[in-house]
Homo-oligomer: A and B are copies of this chain.
Amino acid sequence: MAKVLSSKEENYAQWYNDLVLKSGLAENSAVRGCMVIKPYGYAIWEKMRDELDRMFKETGHENAYFPLFIPKSFFSKEASHVKGFAKECAVVTHYRLKTDEVNGGIMVDPDAKLEEELIVRPTSETIIWNTYKNWVQSYRDLPIMINQWANVVRWEMRTRLFLRTTEFLWQEGHTAHATRQEAEEETLQMVKVYAEFSEKFLGIPVLVGNKTESEKFAGAVETLTIEALMQDGKALQGGTSHFLGQNFAKAFDVQFTNKEGKLDYVWATSWGMTTRMIGALIMAHSDNHGLILPPNVAPIQVVIVPIYRGNEEFPLIAEAANKIKAELKALGVSVKFDDRDTQKPGWKFAEYELKGVPVRLAIGPRDIENGTVELARRDTLQKKVMPQDGIAKYIHQLLVEIQQSIYQKALDFRKASTHRVDSWDELVDVLDNKGGFALAHWDGTKESEDKIKETKATIRCVPLDAEPEEGTCVVSGKPSKQRVVIAKAY
């Protein structure tokens, strides 16, 4: 078997790119920075979307859909928002093409220039709050608990499949509340939804915390984040939940009559998770053989590969395989019987390792004689021969164990890669030589944070659940009451 992937120890970035391409998740398109999400990658996104959607609905949210385009002037309305987003947008200036009479082909019709340019949404706060304005008069109209599944565009100069693309898919929640407290509770609830989704569904442990002033969302009062650790020791921001205060309500003049009969501005949150999380999923678990997918998110959980020489051997193997397949399906397990005769078993083994199918069964003539089957776990690469009788029930339980085991492995790695540092030199040593999360005291000032950024690392978050601890800032030596999480990041 030829090696299809670069080694992740030698070149992590190349390994990642090879893996995305070779496992059939996605590829670059003819449009700079935009990717094609191939069926296998999209099947993973569908599973993520369905689970998140279920969690959103369980917490009282509904879906809706707002326009792709946003009038340019909307971006100027919220002062800090424009600074954060205006620079990297796709701008629609015309609405018609016409035949190019001189050069052939087609050209932009100069007579079809828009009066006001339209921006392809990089995020939808502005168009949504312009809409909410008409929906809210009284406290009885609140809360509004809406989520949108959509594509967004942020013009990126350097792109990487899933991790940073010009167009990406995401969900964006936008809620409106009568009180500050309710909006703050919603902000916290949604970051906790993200954390639970990441840990229980994707098997990726995360730290939950506040972004610093300089790292928070443009227009937010406060940004909560989940931060995951990749195998190369770099952090990845997995999802953010923003308490927007009354900023957008003031920018779009969204007022309501409260229970006391007084006019007040509406309180807001927004929160989002994107196809970038597929990149996190890949980098958190996979190895040099290919993807390792937690069973919850695997489009195919079990694959059955028949091993036979002559055609006369096939029918009995197929019979056994189809019986197991039916039993697994009855237990709600997604299973594929790969009976193609155009590919050899060895090719199939490598293919499903590359694609990260959690459990592989192989059935050959000897298995038919003995009533057995060979079972291989993708995450540990362990193989064993097992009786066919009861195999479906065994696998059903094994998938739960694999899900847990993948999470535990990532958690152990994060523990081993988390370093308490108490001086600048220790911090730099972790960032430059060890990688991972550095837990360091920080005095809360922009000056110290800027100094940290010179190492090319950033303060990932101020953890929510950290123990209060007196200490001194590793930059300034000034007093600090809590450690923050510092790391280089994607």
Interface residues of A (CB under 8 A from B): 27, 29-31, 34-39, 41-43, 45-46, 62-76, 82, 86-99, 104-106, 108, 117-120, 127, 130-131, 134, 140, 146, 150-151, 153, 155, 167, 169, 342
Contact B140 A342 (CB under 8 A): yes
Asked if A119 meets B97 with Cβ closer than 8 Å, knowing A36-B66, A67-B35, the reply is yes
Asked if A68 meets B108 with Cβ closer than 8 Å, knowing A63-B46, A92-B91, the reply is no
Contact B31 A118 (CB under 8 A): yes
Beyond A31-B71, A69-B167, 19 additional pairs, beta carbon < 8 A: A29-B127, A30-B74, A31-B70, A31-B118, A31-B127, A36-B64, A36-B65, A37-B65, A39-B64, A41-B64, A46-B63, A65-B169, A72-B106, A73-B105, A86-B98, A86-B106, A89-B95, A93-B94, A140-B342
Alpha-carbon gap, A76 to B65, bound state (A):
32
Contact B62 A43 (CB under 8 A): yes
Contact B91 A75 (CB under 8 A): no
Q: Which of B29, B118, B150, B342 contacts A66 (CB 8 A)?
A: B29
List 5 contacting pairs A-B, 8 Å CB cutoff, sorted by A.
A31-B71, A35-B67, A86-B99, A88-B95, A91-B108
Which B residues lie within 8 Å of A66 (CB)? 29, 36
Minimum C-beta distance from A414 to chain B (A) = 31
Contact B95 A90 (CB under 8 A): yes
Asked if A97 meets B71 with Cβ closer than 8 Å, knowing A62-B39, A131-B36, the reply is no
Report copies per complex: 2
Contact B34 A68 (CB under 8 A): yes
Contact A167 B30 (CB under 8 A): no
Q: Which of B31, B62, B67, B91 contacts A69 (CB 8 A)?
A: B31
